Amino acid sequence: MALRNMRFIGDDILRKNTRTVEKFDERLWELLDDMKETLVSQNGAGLAAPQVGILKKVAIVSFDDIHIELINPEITFTEGEVSDVEGCLSIPNKTGYVTRPSKVRVHAQNREGEWFDVEAEGFVARALCHEIDHLSGVLYADKVTRWVDNDELERMREKAKKNRSKQPQRVTFIEPKNNKE
């Protein structure tokens, strides 16, 4: 495993569309493992391949005891709406409010190429939406309704951390169906 170089806002690669993954080989696994290591080193909750300069439909959401690898993901269902603060490793030292669905279902492939569905609420739902946006060149900054200044952020930080660990994350993996259309 190795750390990958992060790409930051202003870099064109973050605005490009990504290619569908067709080969589920060691090269993909190495990318996933490197992304995990890079994410942990940056103390983040999610990372998409374009953020390390790779234009493929690959993203991970990983923090605490949650680790979701998403290849060729698609949001297939959303419910509700919630506004909360969001940040991005490619946009350092910024935080802003973004409205996202409160619940999502995502259809994706795992590292072996097997399709699965995952349903999530709360922070995980937000993270899934954020990472999947990256795969079509969309940044959360495009969707911010209000930026948060540093003083406000300082006050919120402690509170947000407590809330996140208190919230049940409700991540449910759903068995693949025989006929998916």
Q: Which residues form the catalytic set?
A: 131
Tokens of 100: 């996202």
Q: How far is the CB of 131 from Zn ion (least distance, A)?
A: 7
**Residue 12 vs residues 3, 9, 51, 67, 142: alpha-carbon distances, Å:** 21, 8, 11, 28, 15
Check if the beta carbon of residue 78 is closer than 8 Å to that of residue 103: yes
- Complex with Zn ion: residue 24 or 36, whichever CB lies closer: 36
Q: How far is the CB of 168 from Zn ion (least distance, A)?
A: 24
How far apart CA 24 and CA 59 sit, in angstroms, is 14
- Complex with Zn ion: residue 60 or 88, whichever CB lies closer: 88
Q: How far is the CB of 134 from Zn ion (least distance, A)?
A: 6
Residues within window 84-113 making contact with Zn ion, judged by CB under 5 A: 88
Angle (CA) 79-143-123 rounded to 5° is 50
39 sits near Zn ion (criterion: CB under 5 A) = no
How far apart CA 68 and CA 143 sit, in angstroms, is 24
- Complex with Zn ion: residue 99 or 172, whichever CB lies closer: 99
- Complex with Zn ion: residue 8 or 173, whichever CB lies closer: 8
Candidate segments 17-25, 82-90, 103-111, 146-154, binder of Zn ion by CB under 5 A: 82-90
- Cα 57 from chain centre: 12
Candidate segments 57-65, 83-91, 114-122, 165-173, binder of Zn ion by CB under 5 A: 83-91
Which residues form the interface with Zn ion (CB under 5 A)? 88
